[in-house]
Structure 1
Amino acid sequence: MPTTIPAIEDAQTLAQAIVDTIHEPLIVLDGGLRVLAASRAFYEIFRVDSERTMGCLLYDLGDGQWNIPALRLLLETIIPEKTAMDGFEVDHDFPGVGRRTMLLNARKVIYETSADSTILLAFTDITARRAVERNLADLLEHTEELLRQKQVLLQEMQHRVANSLQIIASILLIKARAVTSEETRLHLKDAHQRVLSVAEVQAHLHASGDLDQIEVGPYLSKLCASLAASMIGDSYPIALDVEADHGWIGSDKAVSMGLIVTELVINAIKYAFPTTRADARIRVGFDSTDAGWLLTVSDNGVGGVETAAPLVHGGLGTAIVEALVKQLDARMQVQSAEGMAVSIRHPAA
């Protein structure tokens, strides 16, 4: 059979012992909200003594420090209806203790053998936790503001760099038109196109608002359109097509890729079509998969050793392409039979 406590006094002693072993503040109230019992933690934390606590109305404790509107709402409205409430937050300035944020847990105890009831009211001090949360929220807000400022500064810097590159490209083009040496003119035009390829990345990033990633298809299309406009004349037409999937690449790698495409397209325009052809065509392709990406620049020109010579035997353009391919951790393959095709493959990390 269940063991019972033999006397009321013993039950009260046990109840008080249980209350005192709880580390969090706890008080027991009667139906009229007068204190029947309080834990040792309650006395220590709120700095009150038992003589001025036991039998007193809760709202009168500590010169009225517990006469809190939120606490009244809990005890006089919520508890009578629900009989229980967990995590009821109260923020209050307690005399002698200071500002505290408390979570209140309340239980209304109804007895089978009596019409009386009691309320158990437990307190959890979450002042430190809330302070940490506020500090973290402030830190997060400050960090987000710094990131926003950084983004604005980067965009401004990128915009200024793009403008500077356009100015440099214009100066190179003006110089190319002014010099008398044909060799010098060609070198200046090549330099002009190299600067434009870098400027195209900057312009594309500024338009997309993304400083980290760039969509390859639109970028290569704009770059090749710029190359075609400046290097392919109406009297000697060469179709320059771009076929690219929806792959993305880091903006730093996009600069290298743009320079590679610029060099290879310039090479094809110079050497692939020594005579006028109605079907002359250069194709720039980009394909990306889970295995990596593949960049190709091909033409349907004369092919053969002479077309590939600038890439095979060296030169400034060749050195630039080889250095950029190495920088991208990619591999280049050159095929020159029917036309010429340069493939640059980058495996997935």
Structure 2
Amino acid sequence: MMLEDLYRLLKSGHVQAQGVVDTMTQPIVVLDQNFCVTTANNAFIRSFKVNRDDILGESFFGLGDGQWDIAELKNLLASVIPKAAAVIGFEVKHDFPKIGLRTFLIDARRLIHPNDNGTNILVLFDDVTDRQHHDAEMEFIVSETRHRMNNLFAVVRSIAMQTSVEDRTAVDYRETLLGRLETTFRAQEIAATRDAADFEDVLRLAVGELGVGRLSCNGPAIELESPKVLSVSLIFHELTTNAVKYGAFATPEGKVHVTWTLDGTAPERPYLTCEWREENGPRVKLPERKGYGTTLMKGTSAQLGGDMELTYAPGGLTAVLKIPVQ
């Protein structure tokens, strides 16, 4: 029911008017020309934790030891209302003794009775505290989502721009790009839902189904900070891609052994040292040129504050990654 509908109902003096008002969920009071309470509905009694008998006939501004003696509200009722037919959505924020800090939108209207010269004021309170909290949370979520999307787009654009097209077919380029993007999205999902992730989980997720039965892991439980999940995932994805093309995953017998340790000699800056070692793959030879994958791995490890060394031994590639962790 809108303020105008309520006004017409109360002005009519209909016998059921008070009953209708009492069914409304919004707190409502009617004040006389001296700002004393003549009517208060059930919602007002419940919302502000008062007894009806204690407030009827009493000054509205003196209720609850003066909890309604609010400068903004006094100005609204004492000055604005006599000069205007209605006021809609006047915001009052106050720390009430019994219900705490709340925010109300107040609608008020002069209620003029045709049979006398008295002027009452109809006041309706809309508690928007929870709604404002919800709106603030949604605004934060939208802002955070926009920020993450911008970051993700920047990552995707960087990967696309730096994925080399030289000496590649369109199919090869597509598969390489899609593989890197898939790893990026999986890593972003982990980073967005956790403050930290288990290092082994990140490793196995980056290697994927290729590692089933062919990847052995051995090392202590280490939590990887969320901002590092994407970078570490991309490094292991590049190692996996290289192993599929030229290394252990290129043959049915090939295996990859990954071991890691935590160097805590400097407690304020411990280092994770991880070794990726391939065996039973094709005979390894030193690449004729450094590809994007190698550049990505070395550049990414450097951005993390660490380094990475690749050893192209004939029996299999060995990669040693060293990065700081908390």
TM-score, length-scaled by structure 1: 0.43
Normalized per residue, the structure richer in helix is: 1
TM-score, length-scaled by structure 2: 0.45
